[in-house]
């Protein structure tokens, strides 16, 4: 699920209405217990963080992402395209997220201090993302068109959170900056303290950022691990991709344009399953089961 396909705008957004008949506004599922250390075999398979993340301070990337996310939320509110906090699907997304959060710091200690936020945007796009600093967005289209189970939602959320934890956006921005300006110039630019102008520039860049195939594969592995520890069945990664391909008649949408497609994509997930299934088997399972929207129109 690619790079900032994620941070596309809401130009194609459609109005979001509360789904009638789904008045199950219950309390979110309790968070999972503190995470044990990440399995060393999984960590080695994922690999080390790229040196390019050091080109840009994490605080500045997270600040820019938070600013961009707030702007998206404001614009969606003005257009009546942001789901209310008591919307059934918002409750669902936040319940899944609360089970994933505790396992994030094992992959990135900075996640302990992130101000996590989950929003549902009224767009027909099949899309979701997690910005640096833990700003998570789902679009109505991905929930309604694919009729996702809770496990499948967790697979998507785990994958997107993994991008943020592995700082793929910061890595890509660092690579771009190093290519265009050179490491020394980048260091001097980001040492000037002009955070306001910098945040605006970064926010615009985040909107068009694309991840590499290697980043996507890494996010798949970390995301499956996060979701499994949170009590969601990682086999849903297979059914999710089957739905993706079926919905697009075999051609991946923009949401997953940098991924391997078709049978090879599913086979890659199946190879990882033996590594994460034991985590799922040991994990406490969610006490509350939600479900997809009853109508693609909301």
Catalytic residues, by residue number, are: 160
Q: How far apart are CA 150 and CA 4, in angstroms?
A: 24
Burial of 28 (0-12, 13-18, 19+ CB in 10 A): middle
What gap in Å lies between CA 218 and CA 189, rounded to an integer?
A: 30
Residue 129 zone, left/alpha/beta (φ > 0; ψ -120 to 50; rest)? beta
Backbone angles phi, psi at 7, to 5 degrees: -85, 40
* Pairwise CA distance, residues 37 & 33, whole Å: 13
With beta carbons less than 8 A apart as the criterion, state whether 215 and 163 touch.
yes
Rg (CA), the chain: 18
Interstrand relation of 128-131 and 135-139 (parallel, antiparallel or unpaired): antiparallel
Q: Give the C-alpha separation, 82 to 228, whole Å.
A: 29
Angstrom distance (rounded) from CA 55 to CA 42: 26
Q: What are phi and psi of 119, to 5 degrees?
A: -130, 150
Distances (CA, A) of 208 to 4, 6, 165, 218: 6, 8, 19, 20
Across 208-247, b (16+ Cβ under 10 Å) vs e yields ebebeeebbbbbbbbbbbbbbbbbbbbbbbbbbbebbbeb
Distance, CA of 209 to CA of 213 (rounded, Å): 13
């Amino acid at each position: 699920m690619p790079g900032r396909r994620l941070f596309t705008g809401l130009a194609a957004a459609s109005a979001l209405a509360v789904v009638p008949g789904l008045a199950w506004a219950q309390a979110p599922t309790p968070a999972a217990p503190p995470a044990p250390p990440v399995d060393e075999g999984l960590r080695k398979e994922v690999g080390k963080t790229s040196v390019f993340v050091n080109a840009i301070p994490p605080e500045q990337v997270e600040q820019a992402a938070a600013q961009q996310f707030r702007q998206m939320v404001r614009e969606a509110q003005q257009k009546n395209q942001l789901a209310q906090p008591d919307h059934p699907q918002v409750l669902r997304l936040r319940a899944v997220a609360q089970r994933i959060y505790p396992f994030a710091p094992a992959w990135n200690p900075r996640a302990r201090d992130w101000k996590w936020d989950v929003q549902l945007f009224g767009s027909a796009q099949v899309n979701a993302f997690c910005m640096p600093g833990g700003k998570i967005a789902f679009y109505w289209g991905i929930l309604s068109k694919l009729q996702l189970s809770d496990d499948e939602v967790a697979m998507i959320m785990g994958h997107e959170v993994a991008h943020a934890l592995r700082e793929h956006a910061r890595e890509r921005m660092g690579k771009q900056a190093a290519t265009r300006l050179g490491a020394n110039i980048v260091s001097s630019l980001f040492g000037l303290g002009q955070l306001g102008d910098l945040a605006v520039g970064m926010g615009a860049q985040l909107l068009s950022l694309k991840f590499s195939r290697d980043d996507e594969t890494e996010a798949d592995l970390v995301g499956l691990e996060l979701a499994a520890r949170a009590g969601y069945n990682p086999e849903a990664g297979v059914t999710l991709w089957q739905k993706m391909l079926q919905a697009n008649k075999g051609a991946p949408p923009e949401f997953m344009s940098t991924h391997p497609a078709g049978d090879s994509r599913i086979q890659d997930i199946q190879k990882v399953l033996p590594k994460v299934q034991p985590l799922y088997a040991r994990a406490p399972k969610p006490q509350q089961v939600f479900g997809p929207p009853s109508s693609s129109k909301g």
